[in-house]
C-alpha cells in the first residue's frame, strides 16, 4: 500500500499543471478490466482479429532486412518509406498527400498535442464539437485555451452555430472536428455541412483540424470526401493506424502545409527527438502488402458490424422510454442521451456493481455538461457479452426511472 506523503514541490509546479487531471476513460480501465465486468467503456480495437502469422511475418522481415536500422534513432519527421506508405493509405481514402507534407507522430494523440503546442496560447479560443473526443480536450487543455463548443446532431457539427459565433465576433484559432463516426458521438458530418464548414473557415482564415481515425471502419453507406480533399491548404489532417492495424505500434501522422509541418517537426523533436524506428518499419512493411491489410480490415469491419448491431438491438430492447441514441455507420461508439434528471456519473458505481461499465457524458465536455449522457463502445466485447452488458445497464436504468417516478409522481 502506498504511503501518504506531502508534495515538497507543490509551490514549484507550473500554473498550467493545476488544470491537469486524469481522463475519466483512463480511470475506468482498472475497474472495467475485471473479467466479471462487461466493459462498454474503453474504445480498444479488437486486435485479436489480426492474424498472428501476419504479424510474425512482418516483424521477422523487419529484423532480417533492417536489423540495425530498426533499433537505431530515426529522423524527427519519420521514416520516408513509412510516409510514402501512409500517402498510399490515404489515397485509398481519396485523400491526396505528399510525404514531405507529413510528420509521423507517436499515435494521433501526439499529433493533437503538437497542434495544441504550436497554435494555442493561454486564453486563446478554439472551437470543438460538443461532445468532443476527451483525448483532444486533454491534449489541448494543458495549453489553457477557452472553448467554443459547437453542438452536434445526427448530421454532425451544426456549422450554423459556428457561423453565428463568428458573426458575434468570436475568432477561434482553429476548429477541431472528428467528422466520420466521431468519438464519442458516432455521427458523421453531412456532405452539405462539410462544404459549409470548409467555405466558412477558409473565408475566416481559420484552419480546420480534421481528426480522422475511423474513416476506414465504415460499416455501411457511401464514404464522404475529407475536408482535406475539399480544401487542402486550410486543413490539418490527422490519421492513425491504431484502428486499422495496431494501437501498440503507436503510429499516427499529421498532414498539413509545409509551414505547419516544419513547426510540428520542431515541436516533436523537442518532445521525443524521434519516433520508434522499429514500429515505423513494422507499420511500413505491414501496409506494403495491400491484399493482406485489406483482407484483415474487411474481416475486422465484419466483426464490428455484428457487434454494433448487437448493441443497437439490445438498447432498443432494454432501454427505457425517453432514451435516445445515435446509429453509427461505422467506428466504435454509440452515444446515448437519457431524460434530463438522469446522472450518469453518479450512477456509474451502481452500474459497476451490476458488472457493466460505460463512460459518463461529462468526460466529453470542457464545461462538465452531459450528466444525462453516456458513451457505449461496441468494439471490444463479443456480441453475447454486449447483449449481457446492455441488459444489465437497461435494468439499472429502469430501476433508476422507477425510483425517480416514485419520488416525483
CB 211: neighbour CB atoms within 10 A? 27
Task: Tell me which residue of 136, 131, 132 sits closest to 112, measured CA to CA.
Answer: 136
Is pLDDT at 258 greater than 90 in this prediction?
Answer: yes
Burial class (CB in 10 A: 0-12, 13-18, 19+), 144: middle
pLDDT grade, residue 10 (50/70/90)? confident
Buried b (16+ CB within 10 A) or exposed e, 253-263: bbbbeeebbeb
pLDDT grade, residue 21 (50/70/90)? low
The whole-number average pLDDT for the span 360-375 is 96
How many helices (H) and strands (E) in the chain? 13, 14
Name every residue whose Cβ is closer than 8 Å to that of residue 214 and which is 6 or more positions away in sequence.
178, 180, 181, 182, 183, 243, 330, 331, 332
Tens-place pLDDT, residues 289-321:
999 999 999 999 999 999 999 999 999 999 999
Asked if residues 225 and 94 have their Cβ atoms less than 8 Å apart, the reply is yes
pLDDT grade, residue 406 (50/70/90)? confident
Is pLDDT at 173 greater than 70 in this prediction?
Answer: yes
Asked if residues 182 and 329 have their Cβ atoms less than 8 Å apart, the reply is no
pLDDT confidence of residue 4: 57
pLDDT confidence of residue 34: 75
pTM: 0.94
In angstroms, the CA 36 to CA 25 distance is: 19
Is pLDDT at 197 greater than 80 in this prediction?
Answer: yes
**Cα end-to-end distance, the chain, whole Å:** 48
Amino acid at each position: 500500500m502506498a504511503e501518504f506523503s506531502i508534495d515538497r514541490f507543490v509551490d514549484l509546479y507550473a500554473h498550467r499543471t493545476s488544470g491537469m487531471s486524469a481522463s475519466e476513460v483512463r480511470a475506468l480501465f482498472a475497474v472495467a478490466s475485471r473479467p466479471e465486468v462487461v466493459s462498454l467503456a474503453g474504445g480498444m480495437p479488437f486486435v485479436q482479429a489480426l492474424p498472428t502469422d501476419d504479424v510474425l511475418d512482418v516483424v521477422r522481415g523487419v529484423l532480417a532486412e533492417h536489423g540495425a536500422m530498426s533499433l537505431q534513432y530515426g529522423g524527427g519527421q519519420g521514416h520516408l518509406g513509412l510516409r510514402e506508405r501512409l500517402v498510399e493509405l490515404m489515397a485509398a481514402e481519396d485523400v491526396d498527400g505528399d510525404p514531405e507534407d507529413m510528420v509521423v507522430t507517436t499515435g494521433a494523440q501526439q499529433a493533437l498535442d503538437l497542434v495544441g503546442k504550436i497554435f494555442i496560447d493561454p486564453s486563446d479560443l478554439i472551437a470543438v464539437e460538443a461532445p468532443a473526443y476527451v483525448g483532444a480536450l486533454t491534449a489541448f487543455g494543458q495549453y489553457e485555451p477557452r472553448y467554443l463548443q459547437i453542438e452536434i446532431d445526427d448530421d454532425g457539427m451544426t456549422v450554423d452555430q459556428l457561423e453565428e459565433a463568428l458573426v458575434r465576433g468570436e475568432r477561434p484559432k482553429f476548429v477541431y472536428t472528428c467528422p466520420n463516426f466521431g468519438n464519442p458521438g458516432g455521427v458523421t458530418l453531412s456532405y452539405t455541412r462539410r462544404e459549409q464548414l470548409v467555405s466558412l473557415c477558409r473565408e475566416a482564415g481559420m484552419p480546420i483540424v480534421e481528426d480522422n481515425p475511423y474513416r476506414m471502419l465504415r460499416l455501411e453507406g457511401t464514404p464522404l470526401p475529407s475536408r482535406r480533399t475539399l480544401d487542402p491548404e486550410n486543413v490539418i489532417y490527422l490519421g492513425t493506424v491504431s484502428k486499422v492495424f495496431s494501437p501498440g505500434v503507436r503510429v499516427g501522422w499529421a498532414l498539413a502545409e509545409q509551414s505547419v509541418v516544419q513547426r510540428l517537426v520542431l515541436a516533436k523533436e523537442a518532445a521525443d527527438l524521434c519516433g520508434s524506428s522499429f514500429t515505423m518499419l513494422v507499420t511500413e512493411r505491414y501496409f506494403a502488402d495491400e491484399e493482406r491489410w485489406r483482407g484483415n480490415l474487411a474481416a475486422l469491419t465484419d466483426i464490428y458490424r455484428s457487434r454494433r448491431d448487437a448493441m443497437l438491438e439490445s438498447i432498443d430492447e432494454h432501454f427505457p422510454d425517453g432514451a435516445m441514441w445515435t446509429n453509427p455507420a461505422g467506428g466504435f461508439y454509440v452515444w446515448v442521451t437519457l431524460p434530463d434528471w438522469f446522472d450518469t456519473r453518479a450512477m456509474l458505481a451502481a452500474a459497476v456493481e451490476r458488472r457493466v461499465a460505460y463512460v459518463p457524458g461529462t468526460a466529453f465536455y470542457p464545461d462538465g455538461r452531459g450528466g444525462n449522457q453516456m458513451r457505449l463502445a461496441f468494439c471490444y466485447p463479443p456480441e453475447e457479452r454486449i447483449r449481457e452488458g446492455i441488459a444489465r445497464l437497461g435494468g439499472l436504468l429502469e430501476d433508476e426511472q422507477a425510483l425517480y417516478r416514485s419520488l416525483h409522481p
